[in-house]
Amino acid sequence: MVDLTTLGDDSIAAKGWIKAHKWLILRRLSQLGILALFLAGPVLGVWIVKGNLASSLTLDILPLTDPHVLLQAVLSGVVPETTAIIGVVLVLLFYFVVGGRVYCSWVCPVNMITDLASWLRRMLGIRTTSQISRNSRYWMLALTLILPLVVSGGIIWELINPVSMMFRGIVFGMGATWVVVLAVFLFDLLVAKEGWCGRLCPVGAFYNLVGSRSLLRVNASNRAECNDCMECFVVCPEPHVIRLALKGESKGISPVILSSDCTNCGRCIDICAKDVFSYGGRTVSGTKRSNPEVIKKQEVHI
Amino acid sequence: MSDTDKKHEMNRRQFLGNMLKTACGVGLVGMGLGIYSNRASSLPAHYIRPPGALPEEDFLGACIRCGLCVRDCPYDILFLGEVGDDVATGTPYFVARSGPCEMCEDIPCILACPTNALDHGLTDIEESRMGLAVVVDQETCIAFHGLRCEVCFNVCPIRGRAITLDMRHNVRSGKHALFIPVVHSDACTGCGLCERACILEEAAIKVFPTDLAKGELGKHYRLGWKEKEKAGGALVTPDVEHEYNLPEGVRYDLQGEGLIIEEKPEETPFSSNPLNSLNSGFLDNK
């Protein structure tokens, strides 16, 4: 059992506070920075980025479009403009390289809410177990893609999508959006651990699939140093992805976290006093190549 | 059954059970969303979509709620529906009374739209049909009281075609004219400039989504005079002229003077006035 009152203390002692929170700080800067770029226009009159995460135009030249929402629009029968198609291709290429769920941990504003809920759960010792399977998000994803086909009324998921709602709310006007955000927060705090991002969110599930072969991955290449403090499992939003990479050395499993559930958030890198984890490619040089059968098994398990 | 088989059996059961649970849960969410979407897709009458917007149902499928049209509107009249608004969350609209469409010639909102929810085929803003202006209240519109106003007529960007002033007799004074604003749907774009300009506390001319504002004549209706105009002549067999059984020299004009006696009867020694002959006896006896 990990002592939650001293969580991260050893890492801070070993690396200093800044280094022990390096990726967390960078992630918050990324999330807030993206919001700031979108807000600079309406608030300060400095137009760098227009629109929102669904579709945006940077410096009047770079279009970026969310593939999940455009897919829903296409399914409901629309033919998008060329700029939207270019935008989608750029976004897909980016997440194909850096990992789909980088969207979740480095871009999505809801992540700050659910991270706060996770942190509070640890602080308050809330230990509700969830009945909701982590695969539910794929069912939800299927639902978002089926609804535009069968129900008139278009992109129905966007009526309640907390991700786009929160971002749009901040950039264009909140209205009662805070109710939706509060609902997600309370759900994660009281009902299910990592309930929204890890189990239900179809946007995350979509990006998960986009990045299933991504090049940038977290690896446990220094796993020999692991002292079994288990703190990485506590802070990781998708803890099931760690075990095989961290503990699979004896079975010849690669130290690279290959599960696309991993959000590349880097909390494990920060929290580890022994610097077991680091960012890297899909294959790590200098380590034994894992045999394909084991990898297959690993993926099935995921 | 061996132990491992049993274990597999349990796993399979568990697996199927879990899957069923998830499927049911997600299915319920889907049903709820479907029902909610029905309610949420009705557009309130005073929320007008930007120019070129597809018909509402298609629009809701095409609009990805990015707000680029809002950003590119030079007059900042467009808003995105917020949670709790009566318009589908995140979709663009304007309210004519507070901020009507200024009808830019280059239509930047359409150019900004990445998905054709605002139809890129629309290049002439005068062809756009955002809604339709209606003189909704003839009791308060001061033109109907015989006062000169004509503000809506004068601010109309398609002045003289979308709104005309029709003169009518002022029955109250008996000697003046009423200058009545009349909207013509074949030219009105629904920009709402007239609604904003209306001088009343609450506008008497309002823009509504076209389907709310417009009636539709039954398809079987044929307006005789229009058909005649189209065909360049009457389409029905002309009526056989009615023959009246009248004495010679007398005819009957149905739509005019009535009985017409063309020839005067022959002169007789007797007066045509019967009283003359009746009275003559008296005169003789005297």
Asked if the C-beta of A171 comes within 8 angstroms of chain B's C-beta atoms, the answer is yes
Residue of A255, A244, A278, A8 lying closest to A119 (CA atoms): A8
Average pLDDT score over chain B: 84
From the CA of A46, how many Å to the nearest CA of chain B? 12
Task: Kindly tell me the burial class for residue A53, based on how many C-beta atoms sit within 10 Å of its own C-beta (0-12, 13-18, 19 or more).
Answer: buried
CB contact under 8 A, B30 and A146: yes
* Cα A193 from Cα A236, distance rounded (Å): 11
Instruction: Select the residue of B59, B68, B85 nearest A55 (Cβ to Cβ).
Output: B68
For A50-109, how does the pLDDT look when each residue is reduced to its tens digit (9 = 90+)? 888 888 888 878 888 888 888 888 888 888 888 888 888 998 998 888 888 889 999 999
pLDDT of residue A300: 47
DSSP annotation of B143 reads: G
Instruction: Select the residue of B26, B59, B88 nearest A159 (Cβ to Cβ).
Output: B88
Over residues B49-66, the mean pLDDT reads 87
pLDDT of residue B9: 65
pLDDT of residue B77: 92
For B22-52, how does the pLDDT look when each residue is reduced to its tens digit (9 = 90+)? 777 777 877 777 777 766 666 788 889 999 9
The pTM assigned to this predicted structure is 0.75
Pairing status of strand A217-219 against strand A62-65: unpaired
pLDDT of residue B155: 92
For B1-13, how does the pLDDT look when each residue is reduced to its tens digit (9 = 90+)? 455 566 666 677 7
Report angle CA B37, B38, B39 to the nearest 5 degrees.
90
Q: Return all residues near B88 (Cβ < 8 A) that are at least 6 apart.
A: A154, A159, B40, B41, B43, B60, B81
Q: Which residue of A has its CA nearest to B35?
A: A151
- pLDDT at A1 exceeding the cut of 70: no
pLDDT of residue B282: 61
Q: Which residue of B has its CA nearest to A64?
A: B114
Determine what percent of chain B falls in helix, strand and coil, rounding each to the nearest 5.
35, 15, 50
* Cα A253 from Cα A249, distance rounded (Å): 6
* Cα A127 from Cα B203, distance rounded (Å): 59
- pLDDT at A296 exceeding the cut of 70: no
HEC string for B100-142: CCCCCCCCHHHHHCCCCCECCCCCCHHHCCCCEEEECCCCCCH
* Cα A113 from Cα B90, distance rounded (Å): 21
* Cα B100 from Cα A166, distance rounded (Å): 28
Greater confidence, A247 or A30? A30
From the CA of B58, how many Å to the nearest CA of chain A? 7
Instruction: Select the residue of B40, B79, B114 nearest A87 (Cβ to Cβ).
Output: B114
- pLDDT at B19 exceeding the cut of 60: yes
In DSSP terms, B53 is beta-bridged to B118
Tell me the pLDDT band of B135, cut-offs 50, 70 and 90: very high
pLDDT of residue B163: 92
For A219-260, how does the pLDDT look when each residue is reduced to its tens digit (9 = 90+)? 888 888 888 888 888 888 888 888 888 887 777 778 888 888
CB atoms within 10 A of CB B154: 13
pLDDT of residue B203: 92
- pLDDT at A301 exceeding the cut of 90: no
Instruction: Select the residue of A81, A135, A143 nearest B120 (Cβ to Cβ).
Output: A81
Tell me the pLDDT band of B110, cut-offs 50, 70 and 90: very high
- pLDDT at A289 exceeding the cut of 60: no
- pLDDT at A288 exceeding the cut of 50: no
For A162-215, how does the pLDDT look when each residue is reduced to its tens digit (9 = 90+)? 888 888 888 888 778 888 888 888 888 888 888 888 888 999 899 988 888 888
CB contact under 8 A, A153 and B83: no
Over residues B121-141, the mean pLDDT reads 91
* Cα A107 from Cα A29, distance rounded (Å): 10
* Cα A254 from Cα A245, distance rounded (Å): 6
Question: A179: which chain B residues are within 8 Å (Cβ-Cβ)?
Answer: 83
- Above pLDDT 70, what percent of chain A? 93
pLDDT of residue A153: 66
Q: Which residue of B has its CA nearest to A202?
A: B26
- pLDDT at B207 exceeding the cut of 90: yes
Crossing angle of helices A202-210/A82-98, nearest 10°? 70
What is the interface pTM, i.e. ipTM, of the complex?
0.79
* Cα B5 from Cα A204, distance rounded (Å): 36
For B224-238, how does the pLDDT look when each residue is reduced to its tens digit (9 = 90+)? 888 888 888 777 777
Q: Which residue of A has its CA nearest to B34?
A: A151
